[in-house]
Structure 1
Amino acid sequence: MSTRYDILHTTTYRYREPVRFGLHRVMFRPRDSHDLRVLATDLRVSPEADVRLIHDPHSNSVALVQPRGEARELGIACAFTIEHVPGPEDELPLDPAAEYLPFAYSVQERMDLEAYLRPHHDDPEGALIRWAHHFLHSDQPNSTRETLRRMNAHIAQSLTYQAREEEGTQTPLETLALGSGSCRDYALLMMEAARRLGIATRFVSGYLYDPMLDTGEQAPGETTVGAGTTHAWLEAYLPGAGWIAFDPTNNLTRSGRLIRVGVARDPALAQPISGSWFGPAEAYEGMDVVVRVTKRRE
């Protein structure tokens, strides 16, 4: 049975005096696929703006927003209704050759996955690859799926989650050294570690549905981190099953609560919103972001 969600995402930038705005790149619209359908959309910008809708190289839906005139506040509000169609209850089987590590992608797959296989962050002393190898057994075969699950669970259980509003992402080595990070940092750490095990991964930006926001009650033993703002996780490409979601912030896999918006080979390419403004540096006051994801009651 499918589930419908209503999503409201508002971002407001505040300034002490009127400023002029440059072009803003907005990536808020959920990503249509066989398991997720966008039924209704609405984008509102204050002050008035010229808007163009495009698809980027990863086929993400991007709104190019050019506000008109000067203002002390820039507000961007997006509302969506989506329908999520659950996948099969049983996990999709992997190709026999990919069930255990190490495995090799086909020549055709490697041509398309090259940017997702190649590490993007340096590991000069091998600290990250040593960390990744901790999840491998030395006395028995290493199931590809189970290795990723162990890594996913370890990050959720052993690192300290810290929300950060500033742009950018910690490097994987910084996250390991600090023992803490945001959802973006967790996703990048697991992405880069899995790539060093020969697994193609990509960054995902989107939304997380928290049932407690609807019911007011948290399920026993369950804590959801990352709801109420944009969320980030990763997907790993496993031959036979395709792109599989892993959320190391909440130790989730294949979850219908994860709502995809944008995918990219690196977090810097999937920012929910980016842009420029022109005026005195001290004019900037701050930014407010509110995300509400609610299950629709038909």
Structure 2
Amino acid sequence: MRYRITHTTHYHYSQPVGLCQNEARLHPRDFWRQECQSSHFDINPRPSDFIERVDFFGNHVTYFAVQQAHTELTVTCMSEVIVFPKQTHLGINLCSWESVQALLRHIPLQAQMQSQQGQIQQQSINPDKTLELLDAQQYVLDSPMVVTSAELRHYAQSSFLPNRPLVDVVQDLMQRIFTDFTYDPSFTTIATPLSAVLSHKRGVCQDFAHLAIACLRSYGIAARYISGYIETITEPGQQRLVGADASHAWFAVYIPDMGWLEFDPTNNTLPHEQHITLAWGRDYSDVTPLKGIAFGGGQHTLSVSVDVLRLPFVYERRLRPR
């Protein structure tokens, strides 16, 4: 599938802002399931500084600053992305969750030291596999917005049956979250703790992704947060509403010999052609689409519009320098 994504954020301030500094993660990622063919920003007022970089997790980051006084700020990012279909045969990997937990806990110390020094040469240790495991380990730990607890571990317990394949564990957990929780945009904010989401069984996609990640990490399983978009399918006979699509969130779990497998608990599905990935990290705080600081401004209002438009599929793979 080929998509054009238009993500517009508009701020209106009651008083002039003299200076604002911002950081955006709105440039879609390139990886095995997706290729970003183009991405560019339209910012008004025009920024005085505009710098692009790649962060620790491999996400594209755009920094910009506006130094002229303004009462409105509009940030639009327009991207064209190709999402490739791939059939995932979940039944192939029968690795139990206990074996994956043990693998992540007991990476040989010698391999860790050699990896840190860039000297993995032992024939008995696969360098790529060791680096992959070391990378996965960071997603087992608590993070700013995902803190494990006895309550979360208790909720996840019925999915973690003894010797159950990890893929089956995660599928069961995803389905339970989809069934047990109500999608309610009015209930939570970015600051709502997971304990409240678990207690009231309500939230949005961000909450459900955080909840699943916390449940998995409470059992020593590596899980990471993914931000992006999902195409909205228009009902037959109805006109497509421009800007009606929204940002979305889901999660991925590390499966040995399979890599990172994605799950969408909000829709009880495995992401494929309709899920477009922006960024991934430990939780939402690592992948916030747009954040910053403003000096002045008084009170402000914020509006966000996202449009995901499916385009005719015409693909020419880009040649990358070796």
TM-score > 0.5, shorter chain as reference: yes
Contact between 1:169 and 1:185, CA under 8 Å: does it hold in 2? no
Closer/same/farther in 2, CA of residues 239 and 39 from structure 1, 3 Å limit: same
Deviations 1:110-167 (A, max 9, x none): 422221012334455x1111111121336xx412111111111111121111226986
Cα distance in structure 1, aligned partners of 2:239 and 2:69:
44
- Higher percent of residues as strand: 1
* Unaligned runs of at least 5 residues, structure 1: 219-226
Structure 2 residue aligned with 1:189? 211
Structure 2 residue aligned with 1:145? 167
Matched residue type, 2:193? T
After superposing the two structures, state which structure 1 stretch, 231-240 or 153-162, moved more.
153-162
For residues 80-95 of structure 1, the aligned pairs below 5 Å read: 80-88=79-87, 90-91=89-90, 93-94=92-93
3-state secondary structure, aligned to 2:103: coil
Given the alignment of the two structures, is residue 245 of structure 1 paired with residue 269 of structure 2, yes or no? Answer: no
Structure 2 residue aligned with 1:290? 305
Matched residue type, 1:180? R
Structure 2 residue aligned with 1:19? 17
Matched residue type, 1:131? Y
Structure 2 residue aligned with 1:58? 57
Matched residue type, 1:289? V
- Provide the alpha-carbon RMSD of the alignment: 2.4
Cα distance in structure 2, aligned partners of 1:27 and 1:215:
35
Number of residue pairs matched? 280
Deviations 1:60-118 (A, max 9, x none): 00110111301110000011111111113534833x5xx22211326224422221012
Cα distance in structure 2, aligned partners of 1:131 and 1:23:
41
| Identical amino acids, percent of aligned pairs | 25
Cα distance in structure 2, aligned partners of 1:74 and 1:55:
24
Matched residue type, 1:202? R
Cα distance in structure 1, aligned partners of 2:74 and 2:207:
27
3-state secondary structure, aligned to 1:252: coil
3-state secondary structure, aligned to 1:23: strand
Contact between 2:90 and 2:167, CA under 8 Å: does it hold in 1? no
3-state secondary structure, aligned to 1:74: strand
Structure 2 residue aligned with 1:228? 245
Closer/same/farther in 2, CA of residues 89 and 178 from structure 1, 3 Å limit: closer
How many Å apart are 1:34 and its aligned residue? 2.2
For residues 53-132 of structure 1, the aligned pairs below 5 Å read: 53-88=52-87, 90-91=89-90, 93-94=92-93, 99-103=95-99, 104-105=102-103, 107=107, 108=130, 109-120=132-143, 121-123=146-148, 126-132=150-156
Structure 1 runs (4+) greater than 6 angstroms displaced: none
Structure 1 residue aligned with 2:178? 156
Match 1:6 to one of 1, 4, 7: 4
Radius of gyration: which is bigger?
Answer: 2
Cα distance in structure 2, aligned partners of 1:211 and 1:122:
35
Matched residue type, 1:114? Q
After superposing the two structures, state which structure 1 stretch, 161-170 or 146-155, moved more.
161-170
Using the size of structure 1 for normalisation, the TM-score is 0.86
Match 1:44 to one of 30, 42, 47: 42
Structure 1 residue aligned with 2:29? 31
Structure 2 residue aligned with 1:168? 190
* Unaligned runs of at least 5 residues, structure 2: 108-129, 314-322
How many Å apart are 1:204 and its aligned residue? 0.7
Closer/same/farther in 2, CA of residues 252 and 169 from structure 1, 3 Å limit: farther
After superposing the two structures, state which structure 1 stretch, 253-262 or 205-214, moved more.
205-214
Contact between 1:206 and 1:231, CA under 8 Å: does it hold in 2? yes
Cα distance in structure 1, aligned partners of 2:230 and 2:236:
13
